[in-house]
Amino acid sequence: MYEVFRQYINSKTTITDAEFSLIQSLGTLKKLQKKQFLLHEGIVWKYNAFVCQGCLRTYRIDDKGNEHILQFSIENWWAGDRESLITGNPAQSNIEALEDSVILLFTQEQFLTICKEIPSFNTMVINILEKSFIAAQNRIHASISYTTEEKYQSFLNSYPNIANRIPQHMIASYLGVTPETLSRLRNQAAKK
């Protein structure tokens, strides 16, 4: 499973075998079965988590008890609650496996050691953070500018490999509409 992470790093930067050995020595693999949780809200999140295999959802629960999905994480993506990690406050998010999954965990301390020892890894991490921020900004733009149908199409275009392995009502939750609305929208779009 470390091979997946090695491939991921290779696609973004260059590191030596010795450097990867360090990474490997500090990481921990964790297996999750479908429906198991990586994080429950109220717990302080302390890791950097890389998804080697499977699919996770990060969601929050509002006052009325409705779930809202903030993010899906599949192979070669990161998962976690960055706010909890940085601030040390209890997480507001839950992270649940939607499939049997394998996660590579680094505590923040381990992660910072790797960043310090391997400058190219550090650069990669900052790049990822920047790209994540840009993606978040674009999602905000979509949320205030697009119609529901445009948001849906944009999701399908951006993440076709996620869309085809999760139930439709979770896409609705991610988009911020009810499952009924998404169902109707698809029907009407199909009629054209």
Our CB check for DNA shows the closer of 18 and 144 to be 144
Longest dimension (CA), the chain: 58
Q: How far is the CB of 33 from DNA (least distance, A)?
A: 10
Listed ranges 22-30, 67-75, 103-111, 168-176: which one lies at the site for DNA (CB under 7 A): 168-176
Q: Does 42 bind DNA (CB under 7 A)?
A: no
Listed ranges 22-30, 42-50, 119-127, 174-182: which one lies at the site for DNA (CB under 7 A): 174-182
Our CB check for DNA shows the closer of 59 and 78 to be 59
Angle between helices 108-117 and 119-145 (to 10 degrees): 120
Q: Which two tokens stand for residue 133?
A: 């921020």
Q: Does 178 bind DNA (CB under 7 A)?
A: yes
Residues binding a copy of itself (CB under 8 A): 60, 62, 66, 68, 70, 82-83, 86, 126, 129-134, 136-141, 143-146, 173-176
Q: Does 168 bind DNA (CB under 7 A)?
A: yes
Q: How far is the CB of 95 from DNA (least distance, A)?
A: 16
CA distance to 12, 63, 79, 107, 174, per residue, from 76 (Å): 11, 33, 10, 18, 20
Instruction: Kindly tell me which residue out of 14, 25, 147, 164 binds DNA, with binding defined by CB under 7 A.
Output: 147
- Cα(94)–Cα(59) distance, rounded to whole angstroms? 5
Q: How far is the CB of 93 from a copy of itself (least distance, A)?
A: 9
Q: How far is the CB of 81 from a copy of itself (least distance, A)?
A: 9
Give how far the C-alpha of residue 54 lies from the chain's centroid of Cα atoms, to the nearest Å.
Answer: 11
CB 51 within 8 A of CB 99: no
Residue position matching structure tokens 């008890």: 65
Strand partners, 59: 69, 94
Strand order through the sheet with 37-39: 37-39, 94-97, 55-61, 67-74
Q: Does 100 bind DNA (CB under 7 A)?
A: no
CB 143 within 8 A of CB 84: no
Backbone angles phi, psi at 72, to 5 degrees: -105, 145
Our CB check for DNA shows the closer of 142 and 177 to be 177
Binding site for DNA (CB under 7 A): 147-148, 167-169, 176-187
